[in-house]
C-alpha cells in the first residue's frame, strides 16, 4: 500500500512535469509585433522636441532677449553688467545645445519635419549669439531675427499639434550646458 502511494505520487509528479498544464496546453498567443527602434524614436521625438525647444526658448527669452530689451547689457554698474553677461553667456551656450537637440528630434518625426529648416536657421543664429555674447557686442538685429524665427517655430509647432511652452532652466542646467 505504501509503495503504491509512492508510485502514484511519482507518476502524478512526472505527468505534471512532462505534460503541459491545462492552462498552458494551447500554444502561447502570438506576441505583438515589436516596436522598432525607428518607430520608438519617432514616437519619442515629439515630447523630446517640446521639452528641449521649451527650455531653449525660455532660456533665450529670460536671460538674453528680455535683458537686452531692458538695456541691462549697457546700463548699470560694472558688476551688474558682468552678471548679465555671464548669465547671457551660459544661456547662449545652453540655448545653442538644446536647440540642436530639438533639431535632431524634429528630424526623426514626420509631423515635425516642417520645423527642420527654421530650426537649422535658429541653430546658426544661436551660434552667432554665443560668439557675440563672448565678444560683448550683441546687436538688436541678431536678437530680433532670433526672436522672430522662434515665434515662427512656436506657431508652426502649435499648428502641427506640438505646442512648445517656454520653460525656465535651472541654474544647474545652465551651468551644465544641457538639461
pLDDT digits (tens, 9 = 90+) for 90-136: 898 899 999 999 999 989 888 888 888 888 988 888 888 888 888 88
Give me the pLDDT at residue 70, please: 93
pLDDT at 158 over 90: no
Give me the pLDDT at residue 79, please: 92
- The pLDDT > 90 percentage for the chain reads 17
Give me the pLDDT at residue 55, please: 92
Q: Which three cell numbers stand for residue 29?
A: 498567443
Q: Find the mean pLDDT for residues 16-40.
A: 49
Q: Which three cell numbers stand for residue 105?
A: 528630434
Q: Find the mean pLDDT for residues 46-64.
A: 91
CA 53/CA 153 separation, integer angstroms: 9
String of b and e for 110-121 (b: at least 16 CB within 10 Å)?
eebeebeebbee
Amino acid at each position: 500500500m505504501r509503495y503504491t502511494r509512492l508510485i502514484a505520487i511519482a507518476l502524478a509528479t512526472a505527468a505534471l512535469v512532462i505534460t503541459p498544464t491545462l492552462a498552458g496546453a494551447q500554444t502561447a498567443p502570438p506576441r505583438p509585433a515589436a516596436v522598432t527602434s525607428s518607430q520608438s524614436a519617432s514616437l519619442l521625438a515629439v515630447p523630446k522636441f517640446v521639452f528641449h525647444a521649451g527650455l531653449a526658448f525660455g532660456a533665450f527669452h529670460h536671460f538674453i532677449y528680455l535683458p537686452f530689451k531692458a538695456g541691462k547689457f549697457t546700463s548699470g554698474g560694472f558688476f551688474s553688467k558682468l552678471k548679465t553677461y555671464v548669465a547671457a553667456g551660459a544661456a547662449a551656450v545652453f540655448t545653442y545645445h538644446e536647440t540642436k537637440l530639438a533639431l535632431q528630434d524634429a528630424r526623426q518625426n514626420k509631423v515635425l519635419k516642417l520645423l527642420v529648416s527654421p530650426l537649422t536657421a535658429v541653430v546658426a543664429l544661436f551660434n552667432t549669439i554665443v560668439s557675440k555674447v563672448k565678444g560683448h557686442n550683441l546687436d538688436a538685429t541678431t536678437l530680433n531675427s532670433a526672436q522672430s524665427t522662434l515665434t515662427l517655430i512656436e506657431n508652426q509647432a502649435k499648428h502641427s499639434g506640438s505646442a512648445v511652452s517656454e520653460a525656465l532652466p535651472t541654474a544647474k542646467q545652465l551651468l551644465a550646458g544641457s538639461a
